[in-house]
Homo-oligomer: A and B are copies of this chain.
Amino acid sequence: MSAASDALILFANEAFYAAFASGDPVAMNDVWARKATLACLHPGADPLFDRDDIMESWGQILTGSPPPVTCRQPRIVSRAGVALVVCYEAIGEGGLVATNGFVLEEGRWRMVLHQGGPCETVPAADAQSEISARPN
């Protein structure tokens, strides 16, 4: 797959973190696929498969003060049907590691999978590897 296609996958991943960091439930709703089967695994919670349940969970997370999350070192590990991106989620001094999955729906990559979980260490910010998820 071309570098341009990879850029679109990473753009979709970035859009997820932009919605996450900005606490914008409308943007978060826009990120997720409309028709595909979904799964969302928040750390310490039971997996969610119903789209409404997933959006409700994000609504609860984003209400109030969403964490200042940034994506670090995103790496595309699959482009076959489902695009899979593994990345760190830097939050303050700590953070998580996540697997994010995307499918093409009407020409646009939309999220079908998110699993965040604990990791050992979140790498330091690196201008080359970090995608700021903060909106301008």
Contacts and interface: CB of A to CB of B under 8 A. Distances in A.
A55 interface: no
A47 interface: yes
B113 A77 contact: yes
A117 interface: yes
A39 B120 contact: no
Interface string A109-136: 0001101111111000000000000000
Given A47-B86, A77-B49, A118-B118, A97 B38 contact: no
Report the copy number of this chain in the oligomer.
Answer: 2
Nearest to A116: B117
Interface string A67-109: 0000000010110111010100000000001010101000000
A63 interface: no
Contacts of A77: 37-39, 49, 112-113
Contact of A49 (B75, B99, B121): B75
Contacts of A119: 41, 44-47
Given A47-B97, A80-B80, A99-B113, 10 more contacts: A37-B77, A37-B78, A43-B118, A47-B86, A77-B112, A78-B82, A78-B101, A78-B112, A81-B82, A116-B117
